[in-house]
Amino acid sequence: MSDAMQELVYTRYVIFLVMLLVYLVHRYLEKRAERKEQDAFGEKMGCEPLPVMKTKWPLGIDVLFTASRHVKEQILLQFFMEIIDSTGLTHEQRILGKVQYNTIEPKNIEAVLSTQFENFGFGKRTENFAPWLGSSIFTQDGAAWKHSRALLRPQLAANREQNFNAIHDTLEDLIHTIKDDTVMDLQQLFYDLTLNTTLFLLFGSTMGYTKAGDRTGEDEDFAKAFQEAQEYISHRGRLGEYYWLANSSKFKRACETTHRFIDRGIKEALKDANNSATEDEEKKCNTFIDALRRKTQDEKTIRDQCVAVLLAGRDTTACSIAWAFRLLVRHPRVLDKLRVEVRYTIGLGKESPCPTRAILKRMSYLDAFIKEVLRLYPVAPVNGRTAIRTTTLPVGGGPSGRSPFLVRKNEVIGYSVYAMHRRKDLYGEDALEFRPERWEDGTLFRSIGWGYLPFNGGPRVCLGQEYALLELGYTIVRLIQCFPNMKLPEDEPVVDMGKEKQNLTLVLAPGDGCRVLMRS
């Protein structure tokens, strides 16, 4: 290389370094000015600092290792509760150089989900969920989310009679598979139940998906892939901004298998709709697919929304039913009381009339029982939002914990409904006990406000909560009718609530199943 050429290369190298240095200095000064402006805003609003979670190793790496171990042991929420007890109801954590605030204060959660709704979005969650859930109601913010909500809301309110019949028919089929006086793990049956009813909601049929043992290879692949995709999404979520580190070929295959199954359902549903084109207009458009097709012809949009609805309809309700029966057989007094209500309201025995909507609404102890199940085991126990702009939240700052605190743009707020629902200052000294009677006179429900959020709150409140409560209540009553003398198996260990194994993905499921001695 000639001297002239070497000099040219050297000059370009120097120019590049100078430009890089100028850029970095500019960014530093820009960030510094922005931070000073944010600090001034916080001071003006009376903000004070939060207590900071203590860590032993640099960058909080010890917390990551401990959390990973608790995930494997299926006791991660116990770890979260310990952090809250030792640090505070609202606190700051610093992991890998990133700041996050965690809270279980109703006022803060109300601000994030409702009164300051426009100040918070999903942040990195959108990119994390995208490979599986695409652009759907669970990944969107702003105008796109509003469009999806407007698209989906009418469909969850429509076809109530057909959907109710689907719950009845599917549950009766599952009841026939339960042998009397045998111990069964009901958890997989509940997943089958809610998957079938949600498939019917989406496609107008269950696509031939049946109970375990009778499925095709494709059905089995789908069930496995659906669970794997959830586990990966959950793991990626715990990595925060570094979610992309968990992007294995196994995760990609799980997403592809799920999408392939949904695409088949869409294709079959649209084919059936075309074959019934001679039906009158009122009888048509009776499934999610029919309605979505009238709003959009984009196949990916339809698929993305279907995967989101399937996630919401299958897993959340199945987990709630599983927790309900785990609690029932571990609390014979509650089971006795609920059995009496079922007997006098509609009758016991397989030949007794099946419950109707009207009958379920009359059952006050059933309502209290369901509220208590969802208090102690909310299906979405942890959640979070990212600040779209710098703002403040009302409580947690300062020595008293009563002052507001500053939340800078792009910082994350995590909140745990699971932990909030177990606060003794909100629910009394027996907050960790299972006692449906606390809800019976309605006083607690009217007064607790944002301290009770089994279905989230604000503009993003769960669209399907009415349907979920219907399926949950119907299943509980019908199984008590058919197996009124169910009980806890003698060899089943009993541990304190909150100490059992818990499988935490996007939802909270029992980690060791739902074993029940089914007895008529």
List, for residues 217-255, the tens digit of each pLDDT value: 677 889 899 999 999 999 898 888 889 988 899 999 999
119 vs 111: CA distance, rounded Å: 9
> Is the model's pLDDT at 19 over the cut of 90?
no
User: What is the rounded (10 degree) CA torsion for 202, 375, 95, 458?
Assistant: 60
Q: Is the pLDDT of residue 282 over 50?
A: no
- Which pLDDT does position 216 carry in this prediction? 62
pLDDT for the residue 140: 94
Query: How does residue 72 score in pLDDT terms, banded at 50, 70 and 90?
Result: very high
C-alpha 433/C-alpha 308 separation (Å) is: 33
Is 47 annotated to bind a ligand? Reply is no
Q: Is the pLDDT of residue 10 over 80?
A: no
Query: Alpha-carbon distance 249 to 219, whole Å?
Result: 20
pLDDT in tens, 113-125: 999 999 999 999 9
For helices 288-295 and 187-203, what crossing angle results, to 10°? 40
The amino acid occupying position 363 is M
Residue with tokens 């012809």: 297
For residue range 458-503, what is the model confidence (pLDDT) as tens digits? Answer: 999 999 999 999 999 999 999 999 999 999 999 999 899 999 999 9
Q: What mean pLDDT, rounded, does the chain reach?
A: 91
- Kindly report the number of other CB atoms within 10 A of residue 496's CB atom: 8
Query: What helix, strand, coil percent values describe the chain, rounded to 5?
Result: 60, 10, 30
pLDDT in tens, 151-203: 888 877 766 777 888 899 999 999 999 999 999 999 999 999 999 999 888 88
Dihedral angle over CA of 217, 222, 223, 226, nearest 10:
160
Cα–Cα dist 456/433, whole Å? 22
- At 21, the pLDDT band (50, 70, 90 cuts) reads confident
Let me know: does 312 contact 460? Beta carbons within 8 Å.
no
pLDDT of 433 strictly over 80: yes
pLDDT at 213: 52
Structure tokens at 425: 């200052």
Other C-beta atoms within 10 Å of 17: how many? Answer: 10
Inform me whether the pLDDT recorded for 97 exceeds 70: yes
pLDDT band per the 50, 70, 90 thresholds, residue 34: confident
3-state SS assignment for residue 267:
helix
Q: Give the pLDDT band (50/70/90) at residue 283.
A: very low
d(C-alpha 351, C-alpha 483), whole Å: 12
Find, among 329, 339, 346, 347, the residue nearest to 365 by Cα. Answer: 339
Domain boundaries, the chain: 37-122+379-420
CB 286 within 8 A of CB 269: no
Q: Which two tokens stand for residue 107?
A: 């006022």
Q: Which CATH number fits domain 37-122+379-420: 3.40.50.10470, 3.40.640.10, 3.30.43.20, 3.40.50.970?
A: 3.30.43.20
pTM above 0.85, yes or no: yes
Strand, coil or helix: 3: helix
Write the single-letter amino acid at 75.
I
Least confident segment among 137-151, 377-391, 392-406, 479-493: 137-151
Collect all residues with Cβ–Cβ distance below 8 Å to 40 and sequence separation of at least 6: none
